[in-house]
Amino acid sequence: MALAKLGPVVLDCPDPGALAGFYAGVLGGTVETEDGWADLTTPDGRALAFQAAPGHVAPEWPAPDRSQQFHLDLTVDDLDAAEAAVLALGAKPLDTDDRSRTFRVYADPAGHPFCLCAC
């Protein structure tokens, strides 16, 4: 028997509304903001939350002394189209040298790593 249900994943960042807007551009959905906090609810009902962290230091990938701490795997139908879209939204490529892989690694505007993964 479970003791709890998993709520939204919360990302620390310098600007919650801006980062929620980035992920809304990637995943769709609606954003609600409130004093240092933003919630994104995706069209399928999943949620991500974003919390203001004024001293936020972006992780680096790969770097053992500035660990990524976590990352999101985002499943897409077309890697090239999804890549163009996330770059237009402000993502930064971290590791796109091997185009034969089924995934590509990026950083969101606050520096959190995420992967686009082919279905």
* Interval 47-72: pLDDT, tens: 999 999 988 888 887 777 777 677 78
Q: Total structural domains in the chain?
A: 1
Q: What is the pLDDT of residue 84?
A: 95
Predicted structure pTM score = 0.81
Alpha carbon distance 8, 74 (integer Å): 15
| Residue 3 counted as domain residue | no
At residue 88, does pLDDT exceed 60?
yes
Q: Supply the range of the domain harboring residue 49.
A: 9-118
How far is the C-alpha of 106 from the C-alpha of 117, rounded, in Å?
11
Residue 63 CA from chain centroid, whole number: 18
Residue 4 covered by a domain = no
The CATH code of the domain that includes 15 is 3.10.180.10
- pLDDT at residue 1 in the model: 75
pLDDT digits (tens, 9 = 90+) for 91-100: 999 987 888 8
